[in-house]
Structure 1
Amino acid sequence: MMRAWILPMLLVLCGSVVATAQVLEGNLGAGAVLQLVFVLLAGVYSPLIFPRSIGALEAQRRSAVDGRPVVFWRSGCKYCLRLRIRLGRRARQLHWVDIWRDPAGAAAVRAANGGNETVPTVVVAGRPHVNPDPDWVREQLCSDGPDSPLRK
Structure 2
Amino acid sequence: MTRAWTLPTLFLLAGLLVATPVLLRGSLVEGGVLLVVFLVLAVVHSPLVFPRSLRAEEARRRSAEDGWPVVYWRPGCKYCIRLRFGLGRDARRVHWVDIWRDAEAAADVRAVNDGNETVPTVFVDGRPYVNPGPAWVRERLARRA
- TM-score bucket of the superposed structures, by smaller chain: over 0.9
Q: TM-score, normalised by structure 2?
A: 0.98
SS state at 1:100 partner: coil
Query: How far apart in 1 are the matches of 2:22 and 2:93?
Result: 43
Equivalence for 1:111: 111
Provide the residue aligned with 1:91 in structure 2: 91
Counterpart Cα distance in 1 of 2:15 and 2:39: 7
Q: Distance in 1 between matches of 2:15 and 2:116?
A: 32
Gap runs ≥5 in structure 1? 145-150
- Alpha-carbon distance between aligned partners in 1 of 2:20 and 2:69, rounded to the nearest angstrom: 45
Shift of 1:43: 0.5
What amino acid sits opposite 1:114 in the alignment?
D
Give the length in aligned residue pairs: 145
Q: Which amino acid aligns with 1:34?
A: L
Query: What does the per-residue CA deviation read over 1:36-75, in whole Å, with 9 as the maximum and x for residues that have no partner?
Result: 1000110000000000000001101111111110000001
1:60 aligns with 2:60: yes
Matched, 1:7 2:4: no
DSSP 3-state at the match of 1:41: helix
Cα distance in 1, alignment partners of residues 140 and 12 from structure 2: 37
After superposition, the C-alpha distances for 1:107-147 in whole angstroms (9 at most, x for unaligned) are 10000101000000000011100000111100111112xxx
Whole-Å Cα distance in 1 between the matches of residues 123 and 137 of structure 2?
10
Report the alpha carbon displacement of residue 26 of structure 1 after superposing the two structures with TM.
Answer: 2.2
Q: Distance in 1 between matches of 2:65 and 2:102?
A: 21
Residues of 2 paired with 1:26 and 1:143: CA distance? 56
Equivalences for residues 36-75 of structure 1 within 5 A: 36-75=36-75
Q: Tell me how far apart the structure 2 counterparts of residues 43 and 79 of structure 1 sit (CA, whole Å).
A: 16
Structure 2 stretches lacking a partner, 5+ long:
none
CA distance in 1, matches of 2:31, 2:116: 41
Within 5 Å, give how 1:111-130 maps onto structure 2: 111-130=111-130
Q: TM-score, normalised by structure 1?
A: 0.93
RMSD of Structure 2 on Structure 1 (CA): 0.7
Aligned-residue offset at 1:22: 0.5
Letter in 2 for 1:92: R
Amino acid of the structure 2 residue aligned with 1:93: R
